[in-house]
Amino acid sequence: MTDTPTPRRAVVLVSGGMDSAVTLALAREMGFACHALSVRYGQRHDAELVAAAELARTLGAVEHKTVVVDLRSIGGSALTADVAVPEHDAGDPFDAGIPVTYVPARNTIMLSIALGWAEVLGADDLFCGVNAVDYSGYPDCRPEFVAAFERLARLATKAGVEGHGFRVHAPLIAMSKADIAREGTRLGIDFARTVSCYQADAQGRACGRCDACRLRSEGFAAAGLADPTRYA
| pLDDT tens for the chain, residues 1 to 232 | 455 668 899 999 999 999 999 999 999 999 999 999 999 999 988 999 999 999 999 999 999 999 999 999 999 999 999 999 999 776 666 667 888 999 999 999 999 999 999 999 999 999 999 998 876 679 999 999 999 999 999 999 999 999 888 999 999 999 999 999 999 999 999 999 999 999 999 999 999 999 999 999 999 999 999 999 999 9
Domain that holds residue 75: 9-223
In a domain, 229, yes or no: no
| Dihedral angle sign, alpha carbons of residues 201, 84, 22, 107 | negative
User: Is 150 inside any structural domain?
Assistant: yes
Element spanning 152, H or E: helix 143-155
How many of the other CB atoms lie within 10 Å of CB of 109? 17
Considering the domain boundaries, does residue 91 fall inside one? yes
Considering only CA atoms, give the Rg of the chain: 17
Q: Is residue 136 part of a domain?
A: yes
79 domain residue, yes or no: yes
- Residue pair 39/69 in contact (Cβ under 8 Å)? The answer is yes
pTM score, whole prediction: 0.94
Our count of domains for the chain comes to 1
- 121: nearest Cα among 45, 213, 32: 32
Structural domain contains residue 231? no
CATH of the domain at 176: 3.40.50.620
**Which DSSP symbol is given to 198?**
T
Contact (Cβ atoms closer than 8 angstroms) between residue 8 and residue 34: no
